[in-house]
Structure 1
Amino acid sequence: MIPLLKEVGRGKRGARDLTYEESLYAADQILNQKATPAQVGAFFIAERIKMESVEEIEAFVHVCRNAAYREYEHGGIDLAGPYDGRKKSFFATFASAFVLAAAGLPVTLHGMASLPPKWGITLHDLLTEIGIRPSSLEKDTIVGAAKETGVLYVPAEQWCPPLLELRPIREQLGMRTVLNSAEKLIDYGSSPFLVFGVYHNTVFDRLSRLMSKLAYRRALIVQGTEGSEDLHIDRPTRTYVVEDGTASLQVVDPETWGLDTPVPEVAWTPASQIRTAEAVLKGDGELGFFHQVLLNSAYRLHLAEKVDSVEEGLYACKAALDSGGAWNAYEQWRNALLH
Structure 2
Amino acid sequence: MMNRWLKEVARGKRGARDLAYEEALQAAEAILEMKATPAQIGAFLIAQRVKEESVEELAAFVEACRKHAARAPLQQGIDCAAPYDGRRTSFMSGLAVAFVLAAAGLPATLHGADPLPPKWGVTLPDVLAAAGIPRASLAKSRCIAAARETGVLVVHAEDWCPPLKSLRPIREELGMRTVLNTAEKFADYGCSAYLTFGVFHSTMFDRIGRLTSRLGYRKGMVVQGSEGSDDLYIHRPTRICRIENGETCLQMIDPETYGLDTPLPERSWTAAEQAAATEQALQNAGHIAFIHQVLLNGAVRLHLAERADSIEEGIYACKALLESGRPWALYRRWMELVKNQPSAV
Q: Which residue of 2 aligns with 1:202?
A: 203
After superposition, give the CA deviation of every residue in 1:140-193 in whole Å (9 maximum; x if it has no partner): 211110011110001100000000000000000000110000000000000000
Distance 1:221 1:150 in 2: 23
Structure 1 alignment gaps of length 5 or more: none
User: What does 1:1-339 align with in structure 2 at a 5 Å threshold?
Assistant: 1-134=2-135, 137-339=138-340
On the 8 A contact 2:90/2:268 being kept in 1, the answer is no
Q: CA deviation at 1:135?
A: 5.0
After superposition, give the CA deviation of every residue in 1:16-55 in whole Å (9 maximum; x if it has no partner): 1100010000001100111111110000010011111111
On the 8 A contact 1:135/1:155 being kept in 2, the answer is no
Distance 1:87 1:235 in 2: 19
On the 8 A contact 1:17/1:53 being kept in 2, the answer is yes
- AA aligned to 2:312 is E
TM-score, normalised on structure 1? Answer: 0.99
Distance 1:140 1:3 in 2: 41
Distance 2:11 2:137 in 1: 43
Structure 2 alignment gaps of length 5 or more: 341-345
Which SS does the other structure have where 1:195 is aligned? strand
Distance 1:337 1:213 in 2: 34
Which SS does the other structure have where 1:148 is aligned? helix
Distance 1:118 1:267 in 2: 13
Q: CA deviation at 1:138?
A: 3.0
- AA aligned to 1:236 is P
Distance 1:232 1:281 in 2: 18
Distance 1:132 1:91 in 2: 17
On the 8 A contact 2:223/2:230 being kept in 1, the answer is yes
After superposition, give the CA deviation of every residue in 1:113-158 in whole Å (9 maximum; x if it has no partner): 0000000000010111122123553322111100111100011000
Q: 1:111 to 1:262 in 2, by over 3 A?
A: same
Distance 2:76 2:215 in 1: 15
Q: CA deviation at 1:76?
A: 0.6
- AA aligned to 1:226 is E
Which SS does the other structure have where 2:279 is aligned? helix
On the 8 A contact 1:235/1:254 being kept in 2, the answer is yes
Q: CA deviation at 1:331?
A: 0.5
Q: CA deviation at 1:338?
A: 1.2
Q: CA deviation at 1:73?
A: 2.5
Distance 2:137 2:82 in 1: 22
On the 8 A contact 2:138/2:155 being kept in 1, the answer is no
Distance 1:262 1:124 in 2: 28
Which SS does the other structure have where 2:249 is aligned? strand
Q: 1:72 to 1:212 in 2, by over 3 A?
A: closer
On the 8 A contact 1:99/1:297 being kept in 2, the answer is yes
- AA aligned to 1:145 is A
TM-score, normalised on structure 2? Answer: 0.97
On the 8 A contact 1:135/1:158 being kept in 2, the answer is no
Q: CA deviation at 1:72?
A: 4.3
Q: 1:72 to 1:135 in 2, by over 3 A?
A: farther
